C-alpha cells in the first residue's frame, strides 16, 4: 500500500478517521494540481472501504479488482473527448440507484469533474440533493473554481498539496520514469510530464524555448505537428513547459521583456485553465504579444 500512493499522508489519515468514526460524507472533492495522485487516493479509499481484510491489503480479490477497475461496486467516470456529458451522468445515476452487487457500499469516482457540461452538472446536482443510500461520490479536479457553487456546497473539499522533490524522485524510480521525462518531472516537481512520450515531450520543449526566446507566428506551424487541436492535457503540459523555461530565464536574467512575458503567460494560463477558450487562439495571442515585447 505504501508504494500505491506516495505522499498525502495527512489526507489519507483524515479519510481513515472518517471511516473509523463512520462519518464519511456521501460526496467529497479532491482538489489539487494535476498528476499528484488524487485518483490513486480515491482508489485507496475504495480499497480501505471494501477490502476483504479491511486493511487495503492489495492482495485479496477485491483489492486487485478495484485497482484494475473491474469491481462492480466501484466506477470511474472520465471525460469523453473533452467533457463529461449528461448521458454519462445519467448512466452514473442509474448505476448508483442499484444496490451494491458484492459490498455493503458503492464508490463513484468522477475524474476531471470540472469538465462536466452545464447539463451534466445540473443533473449531478440532483443526485447530490437526494444522494442514493450507500453510494459515495469522489469528484477529482485541478480547477475547483470551475465547479458550480451549488455542487461545492454539497461536498466536503479536501485540498491536496503538491508533491515534493523526494516524492517525485521516488515515484519516478517505482514507475521506471527515465530520461528527459524524469529530468523535467524532478526539476519542475510535476509528474504531468511523465504522461507524454519522449519524442513529443522533446518537441514541446523546443516549442516552449522558441516562445520564450524568439516568439514568431512560425511557431504555430511547429505546434501543428503536435495536433491541430491539442487536447486539454497536452495544452496544459505545453504551458507548464513554457513556464519552466521562463522561470529558468528569469533566474539568470531579470529584464523588462521577460517580466512582461511572465504577465502574458499568467493571463493565458488563467484563460486556458478556467475558461472554454480555443488554445490555438491563446497561443496566437501569446506569440503575437511576445513578439512585440
Task: Give which of 206, 213, 219, 217 is closest to 246, Cα–Cα.
Answer: 213
Please classify residue 148 by burial: count the beta carbons closer than 10 Å to its beta carbon, then call 0-12 exposed, 13-18 middle and 19+ buried. Answer: middle
N residues, the chain:
293
pLDDT at 258: 92
pLDDT in tens, 97-148: 999 999 889 999 999 999 999 999 999 999 999 989 899 999 999 989 999 9
pLDDT at 200: 85
pLDDT at 190: 85
pLDDT in tens, 208-225: 999 999 888 888 887 777
pLDDT at 199: 85
Please classify residue 35 by burial: count the beta carbons closer than 10 Å to its beta carbon, then call 0-12 exposed, 13-18 middle and 19+ buried. Answer: buried
pLDDT at 254: 82
pLDDT in tens, 157-207: 999 999 998 999 999 999 999 888 888 888 888 888 888 888 888 888 999
> Band of the pLDDT at 85, cuts 50, 70, 90?
very high
- Strands 135-141, 74-77: pairing is unpaired
Rounded Cα gap, residues 241 and 63, in angstroms: 37
pLDDT at 202: 87
Fold for domain 9-159? Rossmann fold (3.40.50)
Rounded Cα gap, residues 69 and 42, in angstroms: 12
pLDDT at 94: 95
- Strands 106-110, 135-141: pairing is parallel
Order the strands of the 156-159 sheet from edge to edge.
Answer: 74-77, 106-110, 135-141, 27-31, 156-159
Name the helix (H) or strand (E) containing 58. none
Domain positions in the chain: 9-159, 196-291
pLDDT in tens, 23-76: 999 999 999 998 999 999 999 999 999 999 888 999 999 999 999 999 999 999
pLDDT at 1: 56
Q: DSSP alpha helices (H): ranges in the chain?
A: 9-20, 38-50, 61-67, 86-97, 118-129, 149-152, 165-175, 179-188, 198-213, 218-224, 232-252, 256-274, 279-291
Judged against a pLDDT cut of 60, whether residue 20 lies above it is answered with yes
Output the CA–CA distances (angstroms, integers) from residue 188 to 31, 151, 175, 282, in the order listed. Answer: 20, 32, 18, 23
Look-up: residue for cell 479491511?
A: 54
pLDDT at 183: 87
pLDDT at 237: 87
% residues pLDDT > 90 (the chain): 64
- List the beta bridge partners of residue 31: 141, 159
pLDDT at 5: 92
Please classify residue 9 by burial: count the beta carbons closer than 10 Å to its beta carbon, then call 0-12 exposed, 13-18 middle and 19+ buried. Answer: exposed
Residue 89 or 220, more confident: 89
Rounded Cα gap, residues 224 and 22, in angstroms: 52
- Range of lowest pLDDT (178-192, 227-241, 256-270): 227-241
Amino acid at each position: 500500500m505504501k508504494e500505491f500512493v506516495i505522499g498525502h499522508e495527512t489526507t489519507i489519515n483524515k479519510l481513515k478517521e472518517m471511516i473509523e468514526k463512520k462519518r464519511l460524507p456521501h460526496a467529497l472533492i479532491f482538489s489539487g494540481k494535476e498528476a499528484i495522485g488524487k485518483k490513486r487516493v480515491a482508489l485507496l479509499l475504495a480499497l480501505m472501504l471494501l477490502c476483504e481484510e479491511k486493511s487495503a491489503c492489495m492482495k485479496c480479490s477485491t483489492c486487485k479488482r478495484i485497482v484494475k477497475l473491474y469491481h462492480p461496486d466501484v466506477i470511474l467516470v472520465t471525460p469523453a473527448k473533452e467533457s463529461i456529458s449528461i448521458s454519462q451522468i445519467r448512466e452514473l445515476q442509474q448505476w448508483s440507484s442499484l444496490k451494491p452487487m458484492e459490498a455493503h457500499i458503492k464508490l463513484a469516482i468522477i475524474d476531471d469533474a470540472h469538465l462536466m457540461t452545464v447539463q451534466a452538472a445540473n443533473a449531478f446536482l440532483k443526485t447530490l440533493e437526494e444522494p442514493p443510500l450507500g453510494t459515495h461520490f469522489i469528484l477529482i479536479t485541478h480547477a475547483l473554481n470551475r465547479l458550480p457553487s451549488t455542487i461545492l456546497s454539497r461536498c466536503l473539499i479536501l485540498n491536496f498539496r503538491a508533491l515534493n522533490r523526494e516524492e517525485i524522485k521516488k515515484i519516478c524510480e517505482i514507475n521506471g520514469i527515465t530520461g528527459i521525462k524524469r529530468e523535467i518531472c524532478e526539476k519542475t516537481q510535476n509528474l504531468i510530464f511523465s504522461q507524454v512520450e519522449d519524442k513529443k515531450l522533446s518537441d514541446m520543449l523546443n516549442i516552449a524555448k522558441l516562445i520564450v526566446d524568439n516568439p514568431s507566428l512560425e511557431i504555430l506551424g511547429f505546434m501543428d505537428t503536435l495536433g491541430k487541436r491539442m487536447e486539454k492535457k497536452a495544452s496544459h503540459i505545453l504551458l507548464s513547459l513554457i513556464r519552466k523555461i521562463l522561470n529558468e530565464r528569469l533566474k539568470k536574467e531579470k529584464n523588462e521583456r521577460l517580466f512582461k512575458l511572465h504577465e502574458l503567460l499568467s493571463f493565458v494560463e488563467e484563460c486556458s485553465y478556467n475558461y472554454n477558450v480555443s488554445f490555438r487562439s491563446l497561443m496566437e495571442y501569446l506569440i503575437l504579444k511576445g513578439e512585440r515585447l
